[in-house]
Structure 1
Amino acid sequence: MEKPVDEVALTLGEPYEQVRRQSHSTLPSLTEENSINLYVRRPAIFRLTDPRYGFATPAAKFLSLYANQQGNVTLVTLSPQVETLPLDESMAILTDLQNQFRRGGWTPLHSSTNRPIEDTPGTRNAIRACNAPTTRWQADNKYQVSLNIRCFRTDDRPNDERYLITLDLNFPVFKDNPDD
């Protein structure tokens, strides 16, 4: 029998201990020493449970939460993958996430400088050149997401083309018009 994948389910602002209870994951107990690095110890799907703006990611090996002094979750950082991936697989994840944002009513933020990451030859060339394109999305005045993709090369395999996606979810940081 195949073991179910772990899941971290939350809405920003919820008490961290409530997030632990409603999630099926390896998130540690909250202490004064670890509030800035509450991370899973095995891969987990992340699900934003907001009824309007919710979305879900593929399993993430790196998924970390930050809790403020009151013990409420205010930031989520993750790489929605369990390993670095080839460009085709990375683009599929990026496209899926952005489509979930669009369907949920999220809008591109500062789109003149941080356009959505589209699967075009020009974008692929920029990614291969390690330019790390970044896009930002906003859900009304509730949430903001920063999403980027970076080259990931190692000295022992310099020609192995692999990529790492990073997603940061937080409360609005930028107050400008989402259509700027």
Structure 2
Amino acid sequence: MKLRPWLFGRRCGAWLLVLAVLVLVAKHQLTQPLWDEPEVVVELGGTYEDLSRNSSVTVTSPIRGHITYGIPKADARLRFVDPQFGFITPAARFFTLGYNDNVIYSLRMSPQIEPLLIDDALKVVLDLQDQWRAKGWVAKGLRNNPTIVDTPEWRAYLRKGILAGITYWQADDKYQVMLVLARFEDYRNPTEERYLITLALAKPWTPFDDIEDMYDEPSHFPAPQPN
């Protein structure tokens, strides 16, 4: 008669322990840190083997001896690796890597899962610009392509859908980024203003220091200049 209550107590204690473990697991899942998100870890000049070893998402492999492109097989953010100039993007659905033989030489992506409302799109763009500025990247070509800011003038310029907002950033002589923000006609949300962001990165391809003072014809739709 004394054994049954003792067994019941032990079983009850075991179930309580299991329940406590499940609660801790659930809490852990709900509070996963940002770095546990699926990501593609890219080093310009790195190899496909480096990419595969460091990324948590599979990327299609290159064709040896050719210039080809790789595509992640799931939505993932970019973690661009550099001791000084590294940065991170939100998760992307459109994401391509350029391979020269087995070496990564460029990337092009849209750091979003779907077309965004203007508030959300500007938030992504401003965060990227803040990361670059903090890491020592320098905005280039400012006369024709000023950095994008959240002002009524910029919102009105983008809303027209005639020209995109384009900004260029450069990290010494190592990398150059082109960031584009443009209005996008989203058939799933035809009554809403949606926007698409495009990011392209490679070794510097436009010599801004050489051409900045050269004459060029002014745009009929100039981007808003800073005050």
TM-score, L = length of structure 1: 0.91
> Is the CA contact (8 Å cut-off) linking 2:72 and 2:96 kept in structure 1?
yes
Provide, for residues 16-54 of structure 1, a one-character-per-residue CA deviation record: whole Å limited to 9, x for no partner.
Answer: 222121111121222259953311121111011101001
> C-alpha displacement at 1:174, in angstroms?
1.3
Q: Percent identity?
A: 36
> Is the CA contact (8 Å cut-off) linking 2:41 and 2:55 kept in structure 1?
yes
Q: Which residue of 1 aligns with 2:121?
A: 90
Q: Which residue of 2 aligns with 1:20?
A: 52
Q: Which residue of 2 aligns with 1:54?
A: 86
> Is the CA contact (8 Å cut-off) linking 1:65 and 1:75 kept in structure 2?
yes
**Is the aligned partner of 1:167 residue 2:196?**
no
May I ask how many residue pairs the two structures share in their alignment? 179
Separation of aligned partners in 1, 2:188 and 2:112 = 22
Residue ranges of structure 2 left out of the alignment (5+ in a row): 1-25, 213-227
Q: Which runs of 4+ in 1 moved over 4 A?
A: 1-4, 32-35
Within-5 A mapping of 1:64-79: 64-69=96-101, 71-79=102-110
Provide, for residues 60-96 of structure 1, a one-character-per-residue CA deviation record: whole Å limited to 9, x for no partner.
Answer: 1111100013x11011111111111100000000000
SS in 1 for 2:91: coil
Separation of aligned partners in 1, 2:39 and 2:114 = 17
SS in 2 for 1:37: strand
Q: Which moved more, 1:148-157 or 1:158-167?
A: 148-157
Q: Return the letter of the residue paired with 1:28.
A: T
> Is the CA contact (8 Å cut-off) linking 2:65 and 2:100 kept in structure 1?
no
Shift in CA distance, 79/178, structure 1 to aligned 2, threshold 3 Å = farther
SS in 1 for 2:122: helix
> Is the CA contact (8 Å cut-off) linking 1:65 and 1:73 kept in structure 2?
yes
Q: Which residue of 1 aligns with 2:69?
A: 37
**Is the aligned partner of 1:105 residue 2:142?**
no
SS in 2 for 1:57: strand
Separation of aligned partners in 2, 1:148 and 1:116 = 11
Separation of aligned partners in 2, 1:171 and 1:111 = 19
Q: Which residue of 1 aligns with 2:41?
A: 9
**Is the aligned partner of 1:128 residue 2:139?**
no
Q: Return the letter of the residue paired with 2:202.
A: N
Identify the structure with the greater helix proportion. Answer: 2
> Is the CA contact (8 Å cut-off) linking 2:60 and 2:71 kept in structure 1?
yes
Shift in CA distance, 100/24, structure 1 to aligned 2, threshold 3 Å = same
Separation of aligned partners in 1, 2:69 and 2:86 = 23
Q: Which moved more, 1:10-19 or 1:76-85?
A: 10-19
Separation of aligned partners in 1, 2:211 and 2:86 = 21
Answer with 1 or 2: which has the greater Rg: 2
